């Protein structure tokens, strides 16, 4: 890595993400009622919005009381009366096709170290009908009302929750912290249920929400990345995600501006519940959970999750082998390499992987599989070129001392 990337990595290694509070998107990030936040880079035009995100946007508008029906809600989005913007432009990370609207409650995760960086993520909806699956129905809207009418307010005063220790213990027991978060979620749920008194509707929901850790962990990874953001000349990845059409990146040296993006393929791996065994068409990679893998967990940590590693087959071995060549430094707590260097990809390194669920391309059947997606290499080339152009325009060039 060059000197600028090394400086960014030092900031990353010093970060300590803690879930500090919970509040609505309107309160915490000033989101207005005519804006929805989605995963990945921006859409070039409302006509480009993929069906699952359009469905999620419709469900969110019904939840907000801004539309009388699904088609009315879709029209608000297609016409531009309601604007969709990248969640990570606001420090928010959202899973799969889920969108964030003004009344939705967010986890607030802060770096307890020196940076004070803060990131946000929506609450995990648990299994069953869920916004993140990119479907729209009365059941999805009712789940949103339960989540944001009861669960969010109950968690508002839950107190700080240190996430690094939970993550470390879960990895020792077979989670890689993206595709598998069962152990981490059980540990987090135990803490939350204890603080909430152990009974009642909210505790019952948390006990059934088997992936509840995933969303605050996404925000934790984003907070760590933000702690390393804004170092001129640095090629450290500080934003990553797919919008179901394109995959996008932002590097520390892009100074929080713009995206480098390119068309992306769908995750490849096992199908889930295909009728008659026929695979259903998969949406290209989607979700801001790609920040987990870009930090060094998920697909780059499949060696810690033997069951998921076996399920993913040969592709998992390719992903594991990529870690040492792509990641920058050993984490002082996790004892694993972290920090994705975009220049490493350009210098002959492997293509970075992401462990993702696969959504139905038409937005009708929710999750249809899971597997690994791969960053488009052109994203890294474009992002590094943007960093270098910015350096030439106003920052000193930094020599590459890669060994």
pLDDT digits (tens, 9 = 90+) for 255-265: 989 999 999 99
What's the whole-number average pLDDT of the chain?
93
Counting beta carbons within 10 angstroms of the beta carbon of residue 352, is it exposed (0 to 12), middle (13 to 18) or buried (19 or more)? Answer: buried
- Token pair for 28: 């915490």
Res 203 pLDDT > 50 = yes
Res 177 pLDDT > 90 = yes
Q: What pLDDT does 399 receive?
A: 38
Res 402 pLDDT > 50 = no
List phi, psi (to 5°) of 333. Answer: -105, -50
Nearest to 358 by CA among 374, 369, 366, 347: 369
Res 401 pLDDT > 50 = no
Over range 198-221, report the average pLDDT.
94
Read off the pLDDT band of 392 (50, 70, 90): confident
Q: What pLDDT does 400 receive?
A: 35
Q: What pLDDT does 278 receive?
A: 79
Residues 6 or more apart in contact with residue 338 via CB below 8 angstroms: 12, 13, 295, 296, 327, 328, 329, 330, 331
**More confident position, 243 or 397:** 243
Q: What pLDDT does 274 receive?
A: 66
Supply angle C-alpha 331, 7, 113, rounded to 5.
55
Q: What pLDDT does 114 receive?
A: 82
Plot region of 59 (φ>0 → left; ψ -120 to 50 → alpha; else → beta): alpha
| Residues forming beta bridges with residue 374, ordered by sequence position | 353
Over range 154-180, report the average pLDDT.
94
Over range 73-87, report the average pLDDT.
95
Over range 184-198, report the average pLDDT.
95
Over range 368-385, report the average pLDDT.
96
Q: What percent of the chain has pLDDT over 90?
A: 88
Counting beta carbons within 10 angstroms of the beta carbon of residue 303, is it exposed (0 to 12), middle (13 to 18) or buried (19 or more)? Answer: middle
Residues 6 or more apart in contact with residue 113 via CB below 8 angstroms: 14, 15, 16, 227
Long-range contacts formed by 386-394: CB under 8 A, 24+ apart: 386/251, 386/254, 386/258, 386/260, 387/233, 387/234, 387/235, 387/251, 387/253, 387/254, 388/233, 390/232, 390/253, 390/254, 390/255, 391/232, 391/233, 391/253, 394/232
Residues 6 or more apart in contact with residue 73 via CB below 8 angstroms: 57, 58, 59, 61, 62, 66, 67
CB 315 within 8 A of CB 328: no
Q: What pLDDT does 276 receive?
A: 65
CB 357 within 8 A of CB 370: yes
Plot region of 179 (φ>0 → left; ψ -120 to 50 → alpha; else → beta): alpha
CA atoms within 13 A on the CB side of 174: 8
CA 269 from centroid of its chain's CA atoms? 19
Read off the pLDDT band of 206 (50, 70, 90): very high
Read off the pLDDT band of 403 (50, 70, 90): very low
CB 295 within 8 A of CB 8: no
Q: What pLDDT does 396 receive?
A: 44
Q: What kind and span of H or E run contains 340?
A: strand 337-340
- Token pair for 153: 């307010």
What is the rounded distance in angstroms from the CA atom of residue 36 to the CA atom of residue 85?
A: 6
- Token pair for 259: 């995206």
Largest Cα separation within the chain, whole Å, is 60
For 264-303, what is each residue's pLDDT tens digit? 999 999 998 765 667 899 999 999 999 999 999 999 999 9
Res 327 pLDDT > 70 = yes
């Amino acid at each position: 890595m060059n000197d600028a990337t090394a400086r960014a990595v030092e900031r990353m290694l010093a970060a300590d993400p803690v879930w500090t509070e919970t509040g609505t998107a309107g309160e915490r990030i000033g989101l207005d009622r005519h804006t929805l936040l989605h995963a990945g880079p921006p859409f070039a035009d409302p006509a480009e919005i993929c069906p699952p995100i359009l469905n999620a946007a419709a469900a969110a508008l019904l939840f907000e009381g801004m539309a009388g029906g699904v088609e009315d809600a879709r029209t608000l989005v297609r016409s531009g009366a309601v604007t969709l913007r990248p969640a990570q432009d606001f420090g928010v990370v959202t899973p799969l096709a889920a969108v964030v609207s003004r009344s939705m409650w967010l986890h607030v995760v802060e770096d307890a170290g020196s940076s004070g960086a803060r990131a946000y993520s929506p609450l995990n909806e648990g299994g069953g009908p869920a916004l993140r699956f990119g479907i729209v129905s009365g059941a999805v809207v009712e789940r949103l009302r339960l989540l944001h009418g009861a669960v969010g307010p109950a968690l508002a005063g839950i107190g700080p929750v240190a996430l690094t220790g939970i993550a470390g213990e879960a990895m020792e027991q077979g989670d890689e912290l993206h595709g598998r978060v069962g152990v981490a979620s059980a540990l987090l749920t135990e803490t939350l249920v204890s603080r909430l008194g152990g009974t009642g509707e909210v505790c019952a929901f948390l006990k059934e929400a088997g992936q509840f850790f995933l969303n605050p962990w996404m925000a934790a990874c984003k907070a760590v990345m933000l702690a390393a953001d804004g170092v001129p000349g640095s090629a450290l990845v500080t934003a990553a995600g797919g919008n179901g059409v394109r995959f996008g990146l932002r590097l520390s040296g892009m100074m929080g501006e713009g995206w480098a993006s390119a068309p992306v393929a769908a995750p490849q791996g096992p199908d889930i519940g295909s009728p008659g065994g026929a695979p259903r068409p998969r949406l290209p990679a989607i979700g801001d959970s790609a920040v987990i893998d870009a930090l060094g967990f998920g697909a780059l940590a499949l060696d810690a999750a033997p069951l998921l590693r076996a399920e993913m087959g040969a592709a998992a071995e390719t992903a594991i082998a990529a870690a040492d060549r792509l990641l920058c430094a050993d984490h002082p707590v996790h004892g694993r390499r972290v920090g994705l260097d975009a220049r490493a990809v350009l210098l002959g390194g492997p293509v970075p992987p992401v462990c993702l669920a696969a959504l139905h391309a038409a937005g009708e059947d929710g999750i249809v599989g899971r597997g690994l997606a791969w960053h488009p290499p052109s994203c890294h080339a474009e992002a590094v070129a943007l960093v270098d152009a910015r350096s030439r325009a106003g920052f000193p060039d930094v020599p590459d001392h890669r060994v």
